[in-house]
Amino acid sequence: MIRYRHHIVLRAEELSEALDRLAERLLPMLGSEEVTAIPILGGAVFFAADLVRRLPAGLVMDFIRIQTYGDATSPQREAKPDWLPNPANVTGKHVLLLDDILDTGRTMTAARKFLLEQMGAAKVTVVVLIDKPARRAVPITADDFAVQFEEDQFLVGFGLDYRGRFRNLPFLAALETDLDGLPKRLESSQTVL
């Protein structure tokens, strides 16, 4: 297995504490209305699972998939949905749209617009694990987030991946990248990831 140079940015305990604080802030926003939590597949599944367990029972959960990255470290294609939630879970409902990271904003903008305009959501609240405004390419802001990073690092873990790997790490790590933005491989004697 290929290993990469990295450093840990947030330990599992720190992520758990950030999710506790986020859930506390979301409770008043959710109110008594029917809410559907919709994570963007696949990275948001880890974040969504941990977050919704901290929210009141009775949330409906469905999914949307919008792929833009493929195997690259930056978006490679137009953001458009290719896996849709059940319309009954969206039309006229308050949707809690969840993603692992808000960086360029293209994926989230496409998902939000699609849920409102094509599927008839009454309201879409954007909530992310990581807000990374330094990479924003379109004008969108999260309604709330667990953590914010000003520095532009290539993050993996807790749903974030590099070529499908490292999503299952219980912490966030930053991969060191070369001048082309690709992760640097480790020598065999170095600490591994």
Residues annotated as part of the active site: 103
- By 3-state DSSP, what share of the chain in percent is helix, strand and coil, each rounded to 5? 25, 30, 45
Q: How far is Cα 158 from Cα 146, in angstroms, rounded to an integer?
A: 12
Identify each DSSP E strand in the chain by its residue range: 6-10, 35-41, 60-61, 64-66, 81-83, 94-102, 123-131, 144-148, 154-156, 172-175
What does the block give as tokens for 158?
A: 């807790």
Query: Quick one: which of 16, 15, 58 has its CA closest to 37?
Result: 58
Q: For residue 17, is it left (φ>0), alpha (ψ between -120 and 50) or beta?
A: alpha
Backbone angle region of 164, left / alpha / beta, with phi > 0 → left and psi within -120 to 50 → alpha = left
Q: Read out DSSP for 150-168?
A: -S--EEEBTTB-BTTBSTT
Q: Is 98 helix (H, G, I), strand (E, B) or coil?
A: strand
